[in-house]
Amino acid sequence: MVGPNRDLIGYGPRPPAIEWPNGARLAISLVINYEEGSERSFAMGDPDQESLTEWGSYQFPSNVRNLAMESMYEYGSRVGVWRLLDILDRHSVPCTFYACAVAFEQTPEVGKAAVTQGHEICSHGYRWEEVFRLSEEEEREHIRLAVESLTRTTGQRPVGWYCRYGPSIHTRRLLVEEGGFLYDSDAYNDDLPYFVDVGGRRHLVVPYASDVNDIQWWLGNGLATADDFFTVMRDTFDVLYEESATRPKMMSVGLHCRIIGKPGRSRSLDKFIRYAKGFPGVWFATRAEIARWWLEKYPKEPR
């Protein structure tokens, strides 16, 4: 039996002997997913609507517009994103925006504010869509549209890419074909960046995290209070920081404006940043900064 093209080994027991800037031990990548206004809805002319809401996966009549769902997403763009930007500004830490192009088209002021504060704009697709449902030609065109749109609305050409839920079997090849991307984050399989071969070209992956992610609130997976999410972030930090005493590590934190942007939940982010900044050797970095460092310092896979 021929197995699938997968790498189940990775670095294994031989993680790379890397160094972060200024002797840092742990790189922390905060990510804000900006999807509001790009989700599936009848208001956008889509044939179906998002089912995941603040009330869990709430099934709605297939032919009735779900105004409650739409308003829950709107909270993120109207209120939540500004609360998160204020928290990051107070602490002077950068983040990466996983930004859907259509979302920034609808609220260009958000994109401009993110860039003004020094945050990275990473493409989260043209729409907040499942690219594995697209044909290869549709996906190629949507990558082009996303790059063009985000460049226009933010003044920055995105150098990173992240799909909703996961890539298609074509995604990485299409990203390399498009050109201009330093990395993608369409993987959840490591605590450090790594290289993959895409059609004979070396391509960098900066993996993401599904566990240290506020989406768990909406999935009903045990998060009830801000302290719950802070505990997840703190415990993850503690383990990685301890391990980084001998080999530097990377920690990803996934955030959504409509979820952690709520007043009672936002305190968990504020509290975590304060906690992490209390330790020496912690580097809050955008994913582009991490990618550029890796590409510059480790032109070949480090060992």
DSSP-based three-state secondary structure for 59: coil
Element spanning 275, H or E: helix 263-276
Domain presence at residue 113:
yes
pLDDT in the model for residue 138: 96
CA distance 37 to 60: 19
pLDDT tens per residue across all 303 residues of the chain: 455 578 999 999 888 888 899 999 999 999 999 999 999 999 999 999 999 999 888 888 889 999 999 999 999 999 999 999 999 999 999 999 999 999 999 999 999 999 999 999 999 999 999 999 999 999 999 999 999 999 999 999 999 999 999 999 999 999 999 999 999 999 999 999 999 999 999 999 999 999 999 999 999 888 889 999 999 999 999 999 999 999 889 999 999 999 999 999 999 999 999 999 999 999 999 999 999 999 998 866 544
- pTM value is 0.95
pLDDT in the model for residue 221: 83
Cα 268 from chain centroid?
18
pLDDT in the model for residue 299: 67
Contact at 8 Å (CB) between 225 and 266?
no
Domain presence at residue 213:
yes
CA distance 51 to 227: 27
Range of the domain at 51: 21-297
Q: How many domains does the chain have?
A: 1
Six token digits for residue 30: 């905060």
Task: List the CATH number of the domain containing 207.
Answer: 3.20.20.370
> 10 Å Cβ neighbour count for 201?
11
Domain presence at residue 5:
no
Domain presence at residue 14:
no
Domain presence at residue 7:
no
* Cα dihedral value 257, 44, 125, 273, nearest 10: 0
Domain presence at residue 303:
no
Contact at 8 Å (CB) between 129 and 89?
no
Domain presence at residue 174:
yes
Domain presence at residue 156:
yes
- Cβ contacts of 81 within 8 Å, gap of 6 or more: 32, 34, 36, 110, 257, 261
pLDDT in the model for residue 300: 67
Residue bearing tokens 């609130």: 217
Q: Are strands 183-184 and 194-198 parallel, antiparallel or unpaired?
A: unpaired
